[in-house]
Chain A
Amino acid sequence: MKTLRCRLLALVAVGVSLGACAGEPTTQLRATTDKIIALLQDPALKTEARNSERRQLIRKELDQRIDWATAARSSLGRHWAKRTRAEQTEFVSLFSRLLEETFIDKFQTYHGELDKFEYLGEKILDEYASVKAQISTKDHIVHPVEYRLQKSGQDWRVYDVLLEGVSLVKNYRDQFDEILAKSSYEKLAADLRAKIPQASP
């Protein structure tokens, strides 16, 4: 639960960001997180009536910055190639919906825990980049975060986030691998479908 909250902050962050050596990946990442934090802090959107609107606005920002297809493919790991094209398309959709729902649910409970978000630096290797940052919460705890991004056209898009050195993709890859070793892809897809609220658009 606490880890999830930190991941939320890692995805959101930046309302009070302190800059350092901002290259293109950092600049683009910062732009997205600035927008999301602004949406979270906007008092007009905090009302129950505009809850759904806020979710959709956050989702739009996440969709622009996160490379769901790469994250989903990498999370499924060696099992990806064994799936049909239709199953792969379905899996990307299920995976992105699962993460969005998980994070957006947490966004609803965000009450300004973030104190400071500092970018520590970035590294670019061909079309890949990593951006290191650290999040300080108001209860004086510092969490190191690392974003992994891939260049797609002019955009740098996030495909993995490491919090306290633990990779989100690795975490899901291990879990999916375990499930697929014991049962089938159909069971995994059914489990994912069950975790996504049907009511959500």
Chain B
Amino acid sequence: MKKAYLEFVVGLFLAIGIGCLAWMSIKVARKEFFARKGYQVQAAFSNGSGLRRGTPVVIAGVEIGRVESVGLADYEARVRIVIQQGVVLQGDTIASIKTKGLIGEKYIEFTPGASDKTIKPGGVIRETQPAMDMEALIGKYIQGNLAKPDDKGQPPR
């Protein structure tokens, strides 16, 4: 009787442990067992670097959706986003890719607009602002300085 009880407790402990591991794996990988309640919209970014499935979408810092998938279409990043039911997006909502801190993870910020039209389920967010390419900007700054003509007006070699 006592042995059976001990085996039951050990078994229960093991089951709880496996359950915790499974829960952590799901959370870390941001997988969902059940379809998220909401509606889907699309957005195209000329630079979608850092976006992946599960990337949060926020308005005023509050999460209102997540990226469902990221693909390439017509040499642009085509992003599918699932928005929480009840969140209304105006036709001129701007979706911009931001970074948490200087080198943190990417997220998408929606800035509400003023249009009378709203984005319907399956619709497209046409106003997008791509991720800032810091390397290109820094490179341009450096190159710009180097490329300035010399004092005699001659272009650099």
Q: Which residues of A contact B (CB under 8 A)?
A: 73-74, 76-81, 125, 128, 130, 139-142, 146, 148, 160, 162, 164-167, 169-170, 173-174, 177
B25 within 8 A of A: no
With A125-B124, A140-B155 in contact, is A173–B129 under 8 Å at CB?
A: no
Query: A76-B114, A165-B130 provided; 7 other pairs, C-beta below 8 A?
Result: A73-B115, A78-B90, A125-B126, A140-B155, A141-B147, A164-B137, A169-B127
Q: Which of A73, A76, A140, A162 contacts B129 (CB 8 A)?
A: A162
> A173: nearest residue on chain B (CB-CB)?
B111
Asked whether B155 lies within 8 Å of A74 as measured between CB atoms, the reply is no
Q: Which of A77, A146, A162 contacts B111 (CB 8 A)?
A: A77
> B95: nearest residue on chain A (CB-CB)?
A170
Q: Which of B94, B133, B149, B155 contacts A169 (CB 8 A)?
A: B94
- 18 sample A-B contacts, Cβ–Cβ < 8 Å, listed by A number: A73-B115, A74-B92, A74-B114, A74-B115, A77-B111, A81-B114, A140-B155, A141-B147, A142-B140, A148-B126, A162-B129, A165-B130, A167-B127, A169-B94, A170-B96, A170-B129, A173-B113, A177-B111
> A130: nearest residue on chain B (CB-CB)?
B126
Instruction: List 8 A-B pairs, minimum CB-CB distance, nearest first.
Output: A80-B114, A140-B147, A78-B112, A165-B130, A141-B144, A74-B92, A73-B114, A170-B94
With A162-B129, A170-B94, A173-B94 in contact, is A77–B147 under 8 Å at CB?
A: no
CB of A11, distance to nearest CB on chain B (Å): 19
Asked whether B129 lies within 8 Å of A77 as measured between CB atoms, the reply is no
Q: Which of B46, B90, B149, B155 contacts A165 (CB 8 A)?
A: B46
The docked-state distance in angstroms from the alpha carbon of A15 to that of B143 is: 25
How many B residues are at the interface, by size bracket?
20 to 34
Asked whether B126 lies within 8 Å of A128 as measured between CB atoms, the reply is yes
Q: Cβ of A177: which chain B residues have Cβ within 8 Å of it? A: 111
Q: Cβ of B144: which chain A residues have Cβ within 8 Å of it? A: 139-141
Which secondary structure characterizes the binding site on chain B? Answer: loop
Asked whether B126 lies within 8 Å of A139 as measured between CB atoms, the reply is no
With A140-B155, A141-B144 in contact, is A167–B112 under 8 Å at CB?
A: no
Q: Cβ of B69: which chain A residues have Cβ within 8 Å of it? A: none
Q: Cβ of B129: which chain A residues have Cβ within 8 Å of it? A: 162, 165-167, 170
Interface residues of B in 110-153 (CB under 8 A from A): 111-115, 124, 126-127, 129-133, 137, 140, 143-144, 147-149
B47 within 8 A of A: yes
Asked whether B132 lies within 8 Å of A165 as measured between CB atoms, the reply is yes
The docked-state distance in angstroms from the alpha carbon of A148 to that of B130 is: 14
Q: Cβ of B111: which chain A residues have Cβ within 8 Å of it? A: 77, 170, 173-174, 177
Q: Contact string, B50-61, partner A, CB cutoff 8 A, digits 1/0?
A: 000000000000
> B92: nearest residue on chain A (CB-CB)?
A74
The docked-state distance in angstroms from the alpha carbon of A177 to that of B114 is: 12
The docked-state distance in angstroms from the alpha carbon of A169 to that of B127 is: 10
Asked whether A165 lies within 8 Å of B113 as measured between CB atoms, the reply is no
